[in-house]
Structure formats: structure tokens, C-alpha cells
Amino acid sequence: MAPIRLRHPKGVSTIQVDLDAFTVQDLQQEIFAVSQIPPSLQDLKSGYPPRTLAVIPELPLESLGLQVNDQLIVNQKPGATQPAPQVVTPAAPISSHNATLGSASAPRMPPASCSSGPDYVETDNGTLMHRIVPDDNSCLFSSVALVFHQNISKAQEMRKVVADAIRADIITYSEAILGRSRDDYISTILKPSSWGGAIELSIFAKHFSTEIASIDVETGRVDQFTPPPEADSGNRCILIYSGIHYDAASLAPTPDAPPEFHQTVFPIISNDDDDPILKAGKDLASILRAKRAYTNTATFDLKCQVCGQGLKGEKEARAHASQTGHTQFGEY
């Protein structure tokens, strides 16, 4: 382990990192432990004069070019402050076909006396809560475990669900679809350090016979992963996606209700804003968007520090790293 000095809003700390084995995400977790700035909101700089680092969580730590006893500076990204939670309240009565679930309208700030905590949206029939799971590479699996088992500790079991589904269906999950050999994909997805995405969400939708609506914070886009018609239960759950992180959403009787009283799966009313839970999920994403609680990994400009090639976004950086072995990138 190597010492790295960290300047952060609370002072100066020394953190211990493994320069050979850590990923960038591992470093972000160490920084979070002392600064309480979530990884998705961290603005990292190093050197003199300080330069902004290109943070791609899945890359090895060496991509940042850090050395023993280097100094890092972390601040919260501009516009990404964490004020007291915002709440959305109903503006008008809902129609009779929505009455079982409630509806929501435009956001407003809660009274100043409200304590800080997860954001939420009020509906006529409860409070849709932002259920934050750990920023630890297993966020998708933790969110799915929270939704369907009310227990994020079952995240590794969710990885096994994916591995078993891929093993059982060589046609749907071919090497062409997976982008690598089936054995390699299965081995990788079982590791706690690997991320999940669209393939995993489609598998979970089928496994749990439930539509998974993933709402993108930056754009408000809703990606709906649906089970086969013959296995469709007519239910839906909500996930919140920040660009590098998944969280869940659940309906509680009140904002401070214990987790055991939360509802995480809902009857589908419609595929648009006539569905009160889907509408509330979009409003929740809007609150997070206003806080800039998202990361656009597709559009930021990068430069390979080894060969100088210009790149755009995480996708090109990964491809370049795979083709050349170069893993040190800087942001233009």
C-alpha cells in the first residue's frame, strides 16, 4: 500500500492505496470515506499547477499516473451541492383509474426545517424514495436485490442469476451479443468488481417476470426492460441511473418509514405520465438532475498521456486501452 495525501473540504488526510491492484473506483471509495463526497460528485485534481484528472472508474489506478506520496485535491463538482432533500407534491386530484397509486407534479423545496437525507417525491398514496445503494461496482446488483429481495446483501446472488441465465441460453447470449467469449463473460460478471448493464437488466426482467424501468438522470430517458409476454406479471420496478451508478426507488407511507414498509414493485398503469409511479420516478430524476448528480462518460474529451491521441468519452478510452495497452488519460 502507498500513501497519498488528500486535500478535501474537511482538511488534509493521508489515504493508503494499492497502486498496482486498485481501480480508480477503489480510490474514489477511499476518498469518499474521508471526504464524504460521493464518487459520482468528486472533482479530482493533481500536480502543480493542479490539473483535473480524467476519472474512468473501471480503469486501473495507474490510468491516473499517481506516484507514492503524490497529493490529490478533491472538491465537489460545481453545481452538485447536496442541499436538503427536495420533494414533489401533487398539484391536482388524480383520475379514478390511477387512484391506487397516486400522482405527482412539479418539484418544490421542502420547508427549511426538513433534515437532510434521500430525495423523494410525494404522491397521493405515499412517498417515492430515492434508495441509495453503495458505490462499489455492484450497484446494479444491489439495487435489484433491494427491489426483489429487500436485501442488498444478496447482490452476489443476483450475479449468479445472470451467470445461470447466460449458461442456459447459448442462442440469446452468444459471443456476438456478449462481445467476448461466453466463459469469459460469465467469469467476469461473477466478480464483485465488474459492472452490469443492459444485458443484466434484460435477464432480471425475465427472471422476475417484471418490467424494469431504468430512468437516466441526465436526460430523463426511460429505458424499459420487459419480460417475455408469456411471463409478464404486469408489474414494474424503478431504477435510477446516474451514468455510472444505479439506485432503486420505493414507495413508502411516509419519508421516514422503515424499509420493511416500502413497496418496490408496482402494477403497470401505462407507459407514459398517466402512470403515477413512472411519473414520480421521472420527477425524482429531475430533482437529481437539478443537483447535477450524474456523470456524462460519453461526451467528455480525453487525451492519451502516452501517445497523445485525442479520444471522446469512456467508450473510446476503453477501446484505446484495449488496442494499445495505454491506460493513462487526461481530460482536455
Integer Cα distance of 133 and 141 in angstroms: 10
CB 332 within 8 A of CB 305: no
Q: What are phi and psi of 331, to 5 degrees?
A: -90, 135
Confidence of residue 159 (pLDDT cuts 50, 70, 90): very high
Mean pLDDT of the chain: 82
Any idea which residues carry the catalytic annotation? Answer: 136, 139, 245, 326
| 141: three-class secondary structure by DSSP | helix
Q: How many residues does the chain have?
A: 332
Which residues on adjacent β-strands are paired with residue 51? 46
List own/partner pairs for 27-34 with CB under 8 A and 24 or more apart.
Answer: 27/61, 27/64, 28/55, 28/57, 28/135, 29/135, 29/136, 31/6, 31/72, 31/74, 32/135, 34/6, 34/8, 34/10
Q: Is the pLDDT of residue 157 over 80?
A: yes
Contacts of 174 (CB under 8 A, 6+ apart): 182
Q: What percent of the chain has pLDDT over 70?
A: 83
The position carrying cell 491521441 is 309
In this predicted model, what pLDDT tens digit does every residue of 18-49 receive, in sequence order?
Answer: 888 888 888 988 898 888 888 878 889 888 67
Contacts of 78 (CB under 8 A, 6+ apart): 43, 292
Q: Is the pLDDT of residue 111 over 70?
A: no
In this predicted model, what pLDDT tens digit does every residue of 188-226 receive, in sequence order?
Answer: 999 987 888 999 999 999 999 999 999 999 899 999 999
Integer Cα distance of 112 and 310 in angstroms: 47
| pTM (two decimals) | 0.62
Integer Cα distance of 278 and 272 in angstroms: 7
CB 131 within 8 A of CB 258: no
Please give the pLDDT value at position 136. 80
Higher pLDDT, 226 or 77: 226
Task: Please name the fold of domain 87-290.
Answer: Cathepsin B; Chain A (3.90.70)
Please give the pLDDT value at position 329. 64
Please give the pLDDT value at position 116. 52
Confidence of residue 327 (pLDDT cuts 50, 70, 90): low
Q: Are strands 87-88 and 107-108 parallel, antiparallel or unpaired?
A: antiparallel
How many CA atoms does the CB half-sphere of 298 hold within 13 Å?
5
Integer Cα distance of 205 and 282 in angstroms: 20
Q: What are phi and psi of 40, to 5 degrees?
A: -70, -15
Dihedral class, residue 132 (left if φ above 0, else alpha if ψ from -120 to 50, else beta): beta
What CATH number labels 2-80+294-331? 3.10.20.90
Contacts of 125 (CB under 8 A, 6+ apart): 99, 100, 101, 102, 251, 276
Taking residues 259-286, what's their average pLDDT?
95
Query: Domain segments of the chain: what residues?
Result: 2-80+294-331, 87-290
Confidence of residue 261 (pLDDT cuts 50, 70, 90): very high
Please give the pLDDT value at position 126. 94
Integer Cα distance of 83 and 87 in angstroms: 12
CB 310 within 8 A of CB 302: yes
Please give the pLDDT value at position 332. 56
Q: Helix, strand, coil: what percent of the chain each, to 5?
A: 30, 25, 45
Q: What percent of the chain has pLDDT over 90?
A: 44
Integer Cα distance of 259 and 271 in angstroms: 27
Please give the pLDDT value at position 161. 98
Higher pLDDT, 70 or 49: 70
